Amino acid sequence: MKTKYKLACALSCVAATMILTGCSNGKGNNTSYDAPAIIKAKPNAVSLAVVEANSGAPLSGVNLQLIGPATDIEGNSVSTLTSSKTGIAMFYTEEGKTVRILASKQGYVNTGKEVTVAKGVNQIALPMLKFEENASVAGITMKQETVTSTQGTVDKNITVVVKEDKNTTTPLTVITIPKGTVLETEDGKKVTGKVTVEAVHYDDNATQLFPGGLVALAEDVPADANGSGERSTQEVNFISAGFTSIQMKDDSGQSVKHFVDQNITIAMTLPHTTVNPETGKLVKANDKIPIWSYNELTGKWKYEDMGNVVPNPNDNNATWAVIYTASHLSYWNLDWHYGAVCNPGHIEITDQPQGTDVVTSLVINGQGFSKTVFDYNGDGFYDLDNIPKYKSLNFSLMYDGNVVDSKTNVVLGDKSCKLDMKTGNIKPKTPVTVKVVEECRDGSHQRPLPSVPGYVMSGGAWTYINSTNTDGELTLKLDPGAPKGTTIYAYLYTADGRYENSYVYKTIPKDVTEDQTIKFILSKKYDPYCFPVTGAATGAAE
């Protein structure tokens, strides 16, 4: 019995030693026992809010590819993200760096965005269009057709006509796929069987859906406005005359990207009311408009050719058209990019409240142009580059999801590039300090978390309000008009699964004044750190 007791004791000691040391990393200790690295403040971030363009609702489960120097809050390199339950995704990078975002989700039209990161938190909205033929979305018309492919070859001529409704005779986009066209994927495989064509026409009221943004990096840009001269990759300020997207997929989800032996033909309609921003006059026959295509794999636009404006043969010459051939599928876009611009356009908020941290946003759109910017510093003015001159634009000043001032049909450049706006009577809100911390599941090892973004529901979407400082604190302004209180949503994604959840909700009653705490709980992999083994039980004597 004595021998058995000694053996049991020895085995207990060995087991305790193994529990304490864990699996060796070659240096004699287990790295999972170490405290997780302290989260350091990140000065610049991109807060991406993905929404469904059809309804405006937050869109979860969107696959996001990041091209550029993006990291999570721990500094780990990140190339892919998935939008959260609230449509939020976030990454960090250096000021002045550019990151292209490619977005895809089954049942939606692929899109993208290009972001050049400014100091602070950059709030970016990314609307995605759900393909629904009868959807009511401003500036959007959709059409679906079926193509039959035998061993990768289209067996008859196909014409896809996108019209606003069945009763109108004017087509918006006409796509012709000739018999004998070979359909191939990106890697050259033939697409066979039933193939669905999804075509979407966008007019200049839908520029918020313009992939890559209206100021974006483009390839093969010619040196002059006639399409000639040396070509280069450069940032382009687009002024859109309309664009279309064409997606083709078989039943298995394979996407057609290239056409072989034959090209498809695309005819895009231009109303007679279209203004040429180069001349400031109505478009006429033989005017030139550059044609661009969008590469969904790189997130870049590419100059393709110079389009010629002609009487529209699909509309008995009642409108204008630009007709061109395409050897690959993409967004196809008619865009001027040499128009006169204000540098800067100066918009001043003449009654900006002082010392109240009022963050407004400015939405500008009209005649093929769209831009949304935020005054995060509460300075009361916006200096904006590349705002088109001589175009009728609409300006909406937003606060807390509501329009507080608007100016319509404003033409900058006739007299000046300046515009005054007012906030009006903004209701004061009660400030409350919210502390964001991380801790173990038993509440131990609590530490503050800097650079964590906070969001509140505003105008039907989660809107960024502030990020925590180096002490893990942010100020939340409670809405006195919200009887059920204000719900704050904190989001913190880490590539290595640091926390049990990447988001936390907390509803704060409207009459609260004391500090509030939001907690991110460390995941189970940190149990050896949270609950260290300090010893092992000894065996009982006989």
For the segment 60-70, the average pLDDT, to the nearest whole number, is 94
What is the rounded CA–CA span in Å between residue 426 and residue 137? 31
What is the rounded CA–CA span in Å between residue 396 and residue 364? 7
User: Within a domain: residue 222?
Assistant: yes
Q: Does residue 352 share a domain with residue 291?
A: no
Residue type, 205: N
H-helix or E-strand spanning residue 366: strand 360-366
Q: With a cut of 60, say whether residue 318 has pLDDT above it.
A: yes
Q: Does residue 353 share a domain with residue 311?
A: no
| Tokens 């721990």 found at | 74
Q: What is the model's pLDDT at position 66?
A: 95
Q: Does residue 346 share a domain with residue 322?
A: no
Parallel/antiparallel/unpaired status of strands 430-439 and 461-467: unpaired
What is the rounded CA–CA span in Å between residue 52 and residue 46? 19
Q: With a cut of 50, say whether residue 380 has pLDDT above it.
A: yes
| Number of domains making up the chain | 2
User: Within a domain: residue 229?
Assistant: yes
Q: How do the residues of the chain divide into helix, strand and coil, expressed in percent and rounded to 5?
A: 5, 50, 45
Q: Does residue 373 share a domain with residue 249?
A: no
The separation between the first and the last C-alpha atoms of the chain, rounded to the nearest angstrom, is 8
Q: Does residue 317 share a domain with residue 356?
A: no
Q: What is the model's pLDDT at position 101?
A: 93
Measured CA distances, 45 to 31, 72, 347 (Å)? 29, 9, 25
| Tokens 């478009």 found at | 283
Q: What is the model's pLDDT at position 65?
A: 94
Tell me which residue of 393, 401, 53, 80 sits closest to 211, measured CA to CA.
53
User: Within a domain: residue 328?
Assistant: yes
Q: What is the model's pLDDT at position 449?
A: 93
User: Within a domain: residue 118?
Assistant: no
What is the rounded CA–CA span in Å between residue 294 and residue 477? 41
Buried b (16+ CB within 10 A) or exposed e, 132-144: eeeeebeebbbbe
Q: Does residue 418 share a domain with residue 286?
A: no
Q: Residue 256 has what DSSP assignment? A: P
Q: What is the model's pLDDT at position 480?
A: 63
Q: With a cut of 70, say whether residue 30 has pLDDT above it.
A: no
- Are 72 and 493 in contact by the 8 Å Cβ rule? The answer is yes
Q: Give the per-residue SS3 of 408-437.
A: EEEECCCCCCEEEECCCCCCCCEEEEEEEE
| Lowest-confidence region among 107-121, 356-370, 467-481 | 356-370
Q: Does residue 329 share a domain with residue 209?
A: yes
Burial of 314 (0-12, 13-18, 19+ CB in 10 A): buried
Q: Does residue 253 share a domain with residue 228?
A: yes
User: Within a domain: residue 527?
Assistant: no
pLDDT tens profile 469-517: 999 999 887 766 666 778 888 888 888 889 998 889 888 887 788 899 9
Q: Does residue 354 share a domain with residue 328?
A: no
> How is residue 18 written in tokens?
């193994």
Q: How many CB atoms lie within 10 A of CB 167?
A: 6
Q: Final residue of a domain: which of 275, 309, 336?
A: 336
Here the CATH number for the domain that contains residue 362 is 2.60.40
Q: With a cut of 60, say whether residue 34 has pLDDT above it.
A: yes
H-helix or E-strand spanning residue 220: strand 215-221
User: Within a domain: residue 166?
Assistant: yes
User: Within a domain: residue 520?
Assistant: no
Q: Final residue of a domain: which of 288, 309, 336?
A: 336
Instruction: Please report, rounded to a whole number, the percentage of residues in the chain having pLDDT higher than 70.
Output: 84
Q: Does residue 374 share a domain with residue 275?
A: no
Q: What is the model's pLDDT at position 447?
A: 94
Q: Does residue 414 share a domain with residue 331?
A: no
Q: Final residue of a domain: which of 411, 426, 441?
A: 426
Q: Does residue 323 share a domain with residue 244?
A: yes
- Are 446 and 438 in contact by the 8 Å Cβ rule? The answer is yes
Q: What is the model's pLDDT at position 228?
A: 76
146 Cβ contact list (under 8 Å, min separation 6): 194, 195, 196, 197
What is the rounded CA–CA span in Å between residue 537 and residue 83? 47
User: Within a domain: residue 115?
Assistant: no
- Are 117 and 95 in contact by the 8 Å Cβ rule? The answer is yes
What is the rounded CA–CA span in Å between residue 192 and residue 152? 5
- Note down the domain range covering 398: 341-426
More confident site: 393 or 482? 393
